[in-house]
Structure 1
Amino acid sequence: MKIKGSGEKVKSQRQQQKERTRQRLIDTALSLYAREGLLATRTADVAREAGVSHGTIFAHFATQEALLNAVIETFGTTTAGRLHELASQGSSLREVLQAHLAGLREGESFYSRLVRESRMLPNESRQMLVAIQSVVSHHLCAAAEREMKEGMIRPQPLHLLFNTWIGLLHYYLANDDLFAPEGSVLERYGEELLEHYLSLLAP
């Protein structure tokens, strides 16, 4: 029994080390994707930056696309968690938009790359971006429906209301070299975009 318990402990430590390595690869890839681009970054670049052998990448991710999808999924989970945390049930539309901006600011460089290169990504990767947007849409539309019923904003199709917000954000993020070449687009324009968007909805 004692030997078995020792073996189980070693196995647990190995599993923990494996999980730590996997997370380091994801974190490293996210940083490189943000800096160099999703399509320009190679698995060899990630391995070198993370300080591991190239083969280590494929011990954790079967393909380059699998690594990319893991990074997008991690980013989406973090962003969704931030949105759930900041925009609880019953939040106002303003609070939902502020929470969305706050969540995106934390990974703005990567998200900007994702927005710019999304049409060139594999279909599964693009669908993961759609899943991230669905979480935002859920919160935004729930708040908008309540405020339309209360006469606080003008009645309008929810899909247009959501697409207008996303389109506005994505235009600025996709052209960050014009709007904030040496800084954060959302830090510089986020509040202005939010106020402009809400002004369009005023009754």
Structure 2
Amino acid sequence: MTDKTPPPVPPSAPVPPESPARADEKRQRILDAGLALFARKGYHATAVPEIAQAASVATGTIYRHFATKDALLNAVYLHWQSALTAMMETRGDTRLPVAERFAGDWHRLVVWHRDHPDASAFLDSHAAMAELEEDARAATRAYRMALQGIVGAAMDRQEIRMSPPEVTASVLHHAAAGLARDARTGALALTDPVIDAAGRLLWLGLAR
């Protein structure tokens, strides 16, 4: 009688572990895809499989790097808000007259928003989301403090009009983000002369 038992299947070779560099590269692709989709569609309108497709990874890969979709949102927000804050905390030459320092800081702020359109749109539209955790909210507060620092010392020396620092920070933020929004929609060309002209208008409201 012929033995019809199939031959044993040889064991498959073990899958080598993913290198740290490869894992980091995938994580960055996920962050980049999350930023682009959240900025253009909004967090709630974006599904995790869409992010996976945009990042060219499996959906399960996202959950190996981020436990939940909320965790990905917070990672994207914290990264970009911290980057913007770090840029604003880099002060120019403090020996310059206060008007020149303001002009330089304002220019850098708007250029950042102009040159990072997805990050600008994302931060502007997601800053008040309930899904943001304390680390992300703390990053927002640090950014507002950095904005206050643009004119805080000048107010202390009574070189410019006094106003609540948080009001000044809000005006600066919304003016910069608003210009960047208009540039994204094609309402204006956000050239350096336009940025500087807007800064002069703001300065007229601050100068004594």
Q: TM-score, normalization: structure 1?
A: 0.74
User: Is 1:19 matched with 2:19?
Assistant: no
Question: What's 1:145 paired with?
Answer: 152
- AA aligned opposite 2:196: E
Structure 1 unaligned runs (5+)?
A: 1-9
Alignment of structure 1 residues 60-139 onto 2, 5 Å: 60-85=65-90, 87-88=91-92, 90=94, 92-119=101-128, 121-124=129-132, 128=136, 130-139=137-146
CA distance in 1, matches of 2:123, 2:147: 21
Identity, in percent, stands at 21
> In structure 2, what residue type is equivalent to 1:183?
G
Deviation (angstroms), 1:22: 0.7
Write the letter of the residue equivalent to 2:28. Answer: Q
1:48-94 residue CA offsets vs partner (Å, 9 max, x unmatched): 11111110010100000101111111112322233234x34737222
Pair 1:55-2:64 in alignment: no
Q: Which residue of 1 aligns with 2:169?
A: 162
Q: Distance in 2 between matches of 1:47 and 1:18?
A: 14
Q: After the TM superposition, which segments of 4 or more aligned residues of structure 1 sit over 4 Å from their partners?
A: 170-173
Aligned length: 186
Structure with bigger gyration radius? 2
* CA-CA distance at 1:170 after TM superposition: 4.7
When you count helix as a share of all residues, which structure comes out higher?
Answer: 1
1:5-44 per-residue CA deviation (whole Å, 9 max, x = no partner) reads xxxxx97x71221111111110121122222222211111
Q: TM-score, normalised by structure 2?
A: 0.73
Structure 2 residue runs without a partner (length 5+): 1-15
CA displacement 1:166-197 (0-9 Å, x = unmatched): 24345556xx4xx4464386826643432221
Further displaced range: 56-65 or 186-195: 186-195
Q: Is the 8 A contact 2:35 2:119 kept in 1?
A: yes
CA contact (8 A) 1:38 1:113 kept: no
In the alignment, is the contact (CA less than 8 A) between 1:83 and 1:103 conserved in 2?
no
CA RMSD of aligned residues (A): 3.0
Q: Answer whether contact 1:33 1:110 (CA < 8 A) is retained.
A: no
Aligned to 1:5: none
